[in-house]
Chain A
Amino acid sequence: MAAPPPAAAATTRTGALTVGLSPYTARTSAFRRAQICRHRLPTLRCRRAQPLTAAASSSPVFHGECFVVGENIDTDQIIPAEHLTLVPSKADEYRKLGSFAFSGLPSAAYPTPFVAPGEESSRYAVIVGGPNFGCGSSREHAPVALGAAGARAVVAESYARIFFRNSVATGEVYPLELAEAGAWKECKTGDIVTVDIGKAVMINHTSGKEYKLKPIGDAGPVVEAGGIFAYARKTGMIASKASA
């Protein structure tokens, strides 16, 4: 089991850190389930439901522990093929997918699992990775598993195109890119990070370093809306379901 995170009550750049066991509210999308607070992680659990910025903003901020993986992490490591019988559009199978997120990572290289044994979701809100993250299959189950497990953003050096596209289309995770090559190597699993999408920066509080991100551009609002269909309805590209 990983050691509990340091109880440093650091303030973030966007406001005071919320300490405590506040409950979460589920996102409006039917694919999100209500997150249940983990009492073992009192302080620095990422609040998945809402951004830390106060006013209505289209640039969310995420805060919490990061999980670091290497380069060329392929979809089989993100979600092994034997779990592809789970259909993401069914709510209970969606959750089960989350429980298998990153279960394909070799244990020797990754002794700390992304999802702890017996759990259905992950304590890590941000995933940090090297180049060509998500290479391999076109399976949408990959970003879905990460999102179902509770991750909100992947911060990688670069992406394979189908994974990037699927992340945006499903709205499951923000696929953010580090501006500088090699920056991912300076982070360790368990580091406390803040990812500010609007300011395009990731701060590693544990190491004290800041990393520029490439602006997410047009993909940002799509993920924020909850995926391509939600975005298309929100912007009037397609009729809303109520009027259809």
Chain B
Amino acid sequence: MAASISAAAKASAAFAHKKELSAAAPAPTQHRAGGSRRAKPCRVRAVASPARAPRAPASTGLGTLKTAMTMTEKILARASDRASLEPGENVWVDVDVLMTHDVCGPGTIGIFKKEFGEDAKVWDREKVVIIPDHYIFTSDERANRNVDILRDLYGAEDQANPDYKGVCHVALAQEGHCRPGEVLLGTDSHTCNAGAFGQFATGIGNTDAGFVLGTGKALLKVPPTIRFVLDGEMPPYLLAKDLILQIIGEISVSGATYKSMEFIGSTVESLNMEERMTLCNMVIEAGGKNGVVPADETTFKYLEGKTSVGYEPVYSDAQARFVSDYCFDVSKLEPVVAKPHSPDNRALARECKDVKIDRVYIGSCTGGKIEDFLAAAKVFFASGKKVKVPTFLVPATQKVWMDVYGLKVPEFGGKTCSQIFEEAGCDTPASPSCGACLGGPRDTYARMNEPMVCVSTTNRNFPGRMGHKDGQIYLASPYTAAASALTGYVTDPRDFLM
């Protein structure tokens, strides 16, 4: 992880200001002409953006009034072939990618066939991505049947698929299906995860997805944008998970309902792609429609070799209107958790040090990427001790799993994460899937089948989320989760990292 942070810092320093792209006339091949907006200085409070001063037509140099738009508005404008649009408008957009998985895929396909015909063809097979991930390693017959339904659709052979990827949102990114400026819809609420790539990505239901399968279009309401400016050097004990928990605690689980969340600032620019994904992943937990991080060198570098499809990033105009600005001096923040039973029930980790826990869970699209496991391993390595409670590790994808076992980390003296985890007494890393993040069938690995207290790197802690209705879930960063595993209590990771 140290290696990737210094690379990102280099990229950030080398990054030059460029003129914003015109939303109306995208240049076809350029994909590196990006620019970042430096945030105007603002108080560390939420403030309403000032009303936009009227611009005389002559000042635009175009002869017509050009409306300043946010990044989200621009993406939707381009996707709906509009020169400009405003929040609140309902527009038909062309969908670039539609994703579905084993829980919602069968229902979506059922609706598609019912409405468009048994032999209907999808609107564009190159734009449909099917990733089974939720209920995979279970003997539940219906769950297995649902995976088979997906296989039938794409014509797979009747055997275990060696090409199985894992958790859909992480696989989407790793397989190069996320691209700046595009519209990605998925039958899962954490589809917003992909906003880290500077695209419009949001979750929809089966019926909407069935409609998209047939027509390639969706009717979307343009959301206004709340801007989150994160500045300051990221302390060595904080992760993106702490930042998003901080934000959700600030605005509540409905604070961003029907709105877009845009994340900018020097801290955001210093984050690698996986950390940016963690940030955008939990936008839905604040009720947000989508989250966006402007694409930059970090994004382009990540995408190299992953996709051959051209893309065109867009950026918020300097004069774009935002609902409000929230500014955070990240250097002053501390590790936080979300206490039971709501993602906005924020508390400082150190203030929960008397909470005895029964287990720790590290996994899911939110907290099961390789960066998350590297972070957890860092804490175990720094401590050198063994965990005091069962610690479950569920890599999000096959690739993450392989890296956990294969990546030799210089920081750990050349050991792999799996070796660190083994020495710390964690459970053996499990097969990749969504696992117990959402409970699932009774035989799901690490499911909470009795009431207990769990510190988890997952995304929700409503009653019953991981199985038992009386289970208590503390949402936390991988640092905090690992630290808590070592003590058997909710623990601030500074106890081990400083």
Identify the A interface with B (CB < 8 A): 72, 74, 76-77, 80-82, 84-90, 93, 104-107, 131-132, 135-141, 158-162, 165-166, 169-170, 227-229, 241, 244
Contacts and interface: CB of A to CB of B under 8 A. Distances in A.
B134 A169 contact: no
B166 to A, nearest CB: 18
A97 B114 CA distance: 20
Contacts of A105: 463
B207 A136 contact: no
B440 to A, nearest CB: 6
B206 interface: yes
B254 interface: yes
Interface residues of B, number: 50
A76 B104 contact: no
A229 B115 contact: yes
Nearest to B102: A85
B146 A161 contact: no
The DSSP consensus for interface residues of chain A is: loop
B189 A138 contact: yes
Nearest to A142: B205
A228 B134 contact: no
B253 A72 contact: yes
Interface stretch (B12-20, B27-35, B464-472): B464-472
B24 to A, nearest CB: 28
Contacts of A141: 107
B107 to A, nearest CB: 5
B378 interface: no
A165 B463 contact: no
Contacts of B439: 76, 80-82
Contacts of B74: none
A137 B439 CA distance: 13
B43 interface: no
Interface string B419-444: 00000000000000000001111100
8 contacts: A76-B439, A80-B464, A82-B442, A84-B135, A86-B142, A104-B469, A131-B254, A139-B104
A132 B146 contact: no
A140 B204 CA distance: 8
B205 A85 contact: no
A106 to B, nearest CB: 5
A135 B438 contact: no
A132 B464 contact: no
A86 B146 CA distance: 9
B205 A140 contact: yes
Given A161-B287, A170-B207, A106 B463 contact: yes
A199 B289 CA distance: 30
A76 B257 contact: no
A81 B374 CA distance: 29
Nearest to B142: A85
B287 A165 contact: no
Given A104-B469, A136-B460, 4 more contacts: A88-B107, A89-B106, A139-B205, A161-B287
B254 A162 contact: no
Among all A-B residue pairs, the 10 with the closest Cβ atoms: A89-B110, A140-B205, A138-B203, A85-B142, A166-B205, A132-B254, A138-B189, A169-B207, A81-B438, A74-B462
Interface in B193-234: 203-208, 210-211
B420 to A, nearest CB: 31
Contacts of B208: 165-166, 169, 228
Interface string B242-285: 00000000000110011000000000000000000000000010
Contact of A227 (B188, B207, B438): B207
B103 interface: yes
Contacts of A140: 104, 107, 205-207
